Amino acid sequence: MRAVSLGPRGWLRAVASSLGSMASGPAQEVRLGIVRTLEESEVVSPATVEREWPQHFPACCPPTDASATQGEVYRFVANDPVDPKDMVSYLEEGKAKGRDCQRAGLSTLVDLDHAREVQILLPTQRGKRIARAMLSVEHGKIKQTGQPGHYTLWVRAKYHAQAHTLFKIVA
Amino acid sequence: MNPLWEIERAEFFSSHQFAGLRLTDVLVEFDGPQIGIWEDKSKAIQFFGVLADEDKHASRWILSLTDPVELDALYLGAVSVRDVLLKELVLVIDVADDLPRNVWRSTPASIDEAFLPARHALLPKLVREAKRPAVPDAGSSYSIRIGHYPAGRETKPEHMLEFGDLSKLLAVKQRLWTAAGQVVAGNKGRDDGTVPKAVARNTKLYASGARDGSFVVQVVPADAEMFAKAGEQISRVVFASDDPDRLPIVLSSLRRRMTSAYTAYLRILEKGKLSVLTRWSEGAFYVGAGAARRIRHAVSDAKFGEKDFEEISVRGHFLSYTMSKDNPDKRRFRFYDQDQETEYEGEVLPNTRLPDITVGTSANYKVTILTHVDVNGAETHLLEALSEATTTDLSLTPPPFGRS
């Protein structure tokens, strides 16, 4: 793949072109290269760009209205210490349909009392432990989704494989 | 991931019958929907569902029929998630790719505790706050919302609420409130068990209207503070009703009159298939038709043995008093309790000496009646003693709002 260097008009054309083929892998790579080229005003080869988000994330995910992670989040986990299997998203497990971007993220709660309230209600989570992660902006994006108190966490690619190490058992 | 549990003692349905069933409102999710509202294709029938188990092939949900009144009660924290879920009959549904695959009809008793929400757990506070139904109008924050299953869809008798049931419900509602008010009054109540005039007066409930679009009676309490305190007492019993350890303790702290009134209330709900959400500005309580029978049995087991009777003292007049020609000791009576506007009908306790009795409103009496309600709801009343009531014994409740 050749390097691209685009002026503002070229960038608009390229975005329009990439939106038409967002579903395929290579198109995402091209789009990523374009964005970096525009932001950094330099010529970048997409092949050398480190992927910001894990490969299984759909296009445009996380959503643009997600916020940078900053603060503590809680997650129900089956293992103590927390294991990579505790960090498998709904999408990776291949469960259900729809809302792919949300399914690619991890369910978290931002309040321990709320987490406890939720846990005793849910037969599928009741035997689990509650783990806490202290996140900073570099770790990813987060957005309140579904019912109040529930947040979807998207961990950046560089932390994804080790996401379990961010979490420590608290309850 | 757990292997899905074995379904036992359950009737299998074709999933074709439930092909249109969809999860329409997710109330709690964590790595996917966990608690939510399901609707059939027509959107006329609602189910409340909890994800009970899952494996890599399917999610197993427990569903039970619900209605808007019950859901409002859930959102107000007036009923637990488990109580909404565990009706006499429940559906167990395996869902794959968001579609029902296998459907069984089961009973709560056949489902292991591990697959149920914890007892007494309410919907999380944040969810309740988001879903909390608004108080309809300023100044009318007291209401009795009546649900009736199956209601409203067709004008067949079984789909409508009988006036008789409605009348009984509202009467027993007053009786329950008066009894709870007497609990609130505590030692200020009379030693002989009669309802103090102030309690009878302050616990009076008045209907100010029925709201449009649903069966909601707007209530004006004679004394708002007493209404709330009495409501809290009733809430205590309602919330303890599914806890065999706590229920006897709560009941033992109450006057027997309240237990009797609560039992009568449950019986009306069960018979009329009624669900009632009672709400005031600070609280709410709810009993559904499905739970009424179960709770009534629990109350009966907790409080009454087969031969236990409740002794109550009431004031009013005789509606009838008859004696068998063959056996003079076999006497029957009907007595009108003016404080609670309730009739008692039964026999005079054998070997009870009574003075000559005048029937009608011209003669007022204070009587002691032994009452017993068995598990089937049959009431037995025995007249144990009586005395003529003086004028000061009579409750002279002023008419509400200047009406003459």
- Å from B122 to nearest chain A CA? 8
Q: Is B98 on the interface with A (CB under 8 A)?
A: yes
pLDDT of residue A153: 96
To the nearest whole angstrom, how far is the Cα of A153 from the nearest Cα of chain B? Answer: 11
Model confidence pLDDT, tens digit, residues A24-71: 333 333 333 333 333 444 444 554 557 899 998 998 999 999 999 999
Question: From the CA of B97, how many Å to the nearest CA of chain A?
Answer: 5
Residue of A nearest to B54 (CA): A124
Question: Cβ of A121 and B118 within 8 Å?
Answer: yes
Q: How far is B382 from chain A (nearest CA, A)?
A: 47
Say whether pLDDT at B141 is over 80.
no
Q: Across residues B216-229, what is the average pLDDT? A: 82
CB contact under 8 A, B97 and A76: no
Instruction: Give, in order, the Cα–Cα distances in Å from B276 to each of A132, B122, B148, B162, B295.
Output: 41, 18, 9, 15, 14
What's the confidence (pLDDT) of residue A39?
41
Average pLDDT over all residues of chain B: 79
Asked if B124 and A117 come within 8 Å (Cβ–Cβ), the reply is yes
Cα–Cα dist B377/B172, whole Å: 14
Asked if B50 is an interface residue toward chain A (Cβ–Cβ < 8 A), one would say yes
Instruction: Kindly determine whether residue A123 and residue B117, on different chains, have CB atoms separated by under 8 Å.
Output: yes
Question: Averaging pLDDT over each range in A116-125, B69-78, B164-173, B180-189, which range is the top one?
Answer: A116-125
Residue contact B30–A120, C-beta within 8 A = no
CA–CA gap between residue A69 and residue A66 (Å, rounded): 9
Distance from CA of B62 to the nearest CA of A (A): 11
CB–CB of B127 and A149 under 8 A?
Answer: yes
Peptide bond between residue A62 and the one before it cis (omega within 30 degrees of 0): yes
CA-to-CA distance for A15 and B26, rounded, in angstroms? 35
pLDDT band at B217 (very low <50, low <70, confident <90, very high): confident
Give B-chain residues touching A74 at CB under 8 angstroms. Answer: none
Query: Taking CB atoms and an 8 Å limit, are B32 and A96 in contact across chains?
Result: yes
Residues of chain B with C-beta less than 8 angstroms from the C-beta of A76:
30
Cis link prior to B350 (omega < 30° from 0)?
no
Residue with structure tokens 């092949």?
A: A47
A169 CA: distance to closest CA in chain B (Å): 18
- Give Cα separations from B86 to A136, B115, B262 (angstroms): 43, 12, 21
Asked if A121 contacts B35 with a C-beta cutoff of 8 angstroms, the reply is yes
The contacts of residue A160 (CB under 8 Å, 6+ apart) are: A54
Average pLDDT over residues B214-219: 72
Reported confidence tier of residue B89, pLDDT bands at 50, 70, 90: confident
Listed in sequence order, the residues at least 6 apart from A24 whose beta carbon sits closer than 8 Å to its beta carbon are none
- Closest-CA distance, A51 to chain B, in angstroms, reads 24
Q: Which residue of B has its CA nearest to A85?
A: B1
- Partner-chain contact A148 B127, CB within 8 Å: yes
* pLDDT band with cut points at 50, 70 and 90 for residue B154: low
| Contact assessment for residue B266 and residue B376, using Cβ atoms and an 8 Å cutoff | no
**Locate tokens 């009531």: which residue?**
B389
- Based on its alpha-carbon atoms, the radius of gyration of chain B, rounded to whole angstroms, reads 24
Please tell me whether the overall predicted TM-score, pTM, comes out greater than 0.80 for this model. Answer: no
Q: Which candidate, B328, B364, B286, places its Cα nearest to that of B123?
A: B286
For range B300-317, the mean pLDDT: 69
pLDDT for position B176: 87
The per-residue pLDDT for range B339-382, each reduced to its tens digit, is: 878 899 998 877 677 888 889 988 889 888 888 777 677 788 88
Cβ contact, residue pair A95, B59, below 8 Å: yes
Contact A122 B34 (CB under 8 A): yes
Which of B40-44, B208-212, B249-253, B299-303 is the most confident on average? B40-44
Per-residue CA distances from B137 to B79, B278, B281, B339 (Å): 23, 16, 11, 31
B99 shares contact with chain A (CB less than 8 Å) = no
Q: Do B27 and A93 touch (CB under 8 A)?
A: no
User: B21 near B39, Cβ under 8 Å?
Assistant: yes
Q: How does strand B379-388 pair with strand B342-348?
A: parallel
Whether the per-residue pLDDT at B243 is higher than 90: the answer is no
Element spanning B314, H or E? strand B310-323
Q: For position B270, what pLDDT does the model report?
A: 84
Distance of CA B110 to the CA centre of its chain: 25
Assess whether pLDDT exceeds 60 at residue B20.
yes
First to last CA, chain A: 50
What is the mean predicted confidence (pLDDT) over B276-287?
Answer: 86
Percentage of the residues of chain A whose pLDDT score is greater than 70:
70
Contact A147/B130, CB-based, under 8 Å? yes
DSSP of A85-148, one letter per residue? GGG--HHHHT-S-S-HHHHHSEEEES-HHHHHHHHHH-TTTTTSEEEEEEE-GGGEEEEE-SST
Among B12-26, B71-85, B177-191, B236-250, the range with the most confident prediction by mean pLDDT is B71-85
Provide the chain B residues 102-161 that lie in CB contact (below 8 A) with chain A: 114-118, 121-127, 129-130
Please state the rounded mean pLDDT for residues B223-247.
Answer: 82
Residues of A in contact with B26 (CB under 8 A): 146-147
- Residues listed for chain A: 171
Residue B307 in this model has a pLDDT that exceeds 50: no
Cβ separation A118–B30 shorter than 8 A: yes
Residue B203 to residues A50, B185, B229, B236, B257, Cα–Cα distance (Å): 72, 11, 10, 18, 15
Residue (of B116, B120, B150, B129) closest to B46 by Cα position: B150
**From A116, which residue of chain B is nearest by alpha-carbon distance?**
B124
For residue A49, the 8-state DSSP code is: S
Which among B31, B98, B127 has CB closest to A107? B31
List C-alpha distances in Å: A105 to A87, A140, A150, A158, B250.
Answer: 9, 10, 12, 15, 46
Q: One-letter amino acid identity for B115? A: F
pLDDT top residue among B154 and B395: B154
| A74 pLDDT more than 60 | yes
Comparison of pLDDT for B145 and B159, the residue scoring more: B145
How far A131 CA sits from the closest chain B CA (Å)? 14
Of B34, B59, B125, the CB nearest to A117: B125
Query: Do A107 and B30 lie within an 8 Å CB cutoff?
Result: yes
- Measured CA to CA in angstroms, residue A70 lies from A61, A77, A133, B322 at distances of 19, 21, 10, 82
- Residue B200 makes CB contacts below 8 A (sequence gap 6+) with B178, B339, B340, B395, B397
Q: Which residues contact B30 (CB under 8 A, 6 or more apart)?
A: A76, A107, A109, A118, A122, A125, A150
Judge: B124–A121 Cβ closer than 8 Å, yes or no.
Answer: yes
- Quote the mean pLDDT of chain A: 77
Nearest chain A alpha carbon to B128:
A148
Chain B residue numbers touching A153 (CB-CB < 8 A): none
Mean pLDDT, residues A153-168 taken together? 94
Per-residue confidence at B127, pLDDT binned at 50, 70, 90?
very high
pLDDT band for position B136 (50/70/90)? low
- Is pLDDT above 70 for B308? no
Q: Number of A:B CB contacts under 8 A?
A: 92
> Sorting pLDDT into bands at 50, 70 and 90, what band is B9?
low
d(CA B98, CA B105): 20
- Tell me the ipTM for this assembly: 0.71
What pLDDT shows up at residue B212?
A: 52
Whether A143 has a pLDDT exceeding 70, the answer reads yes
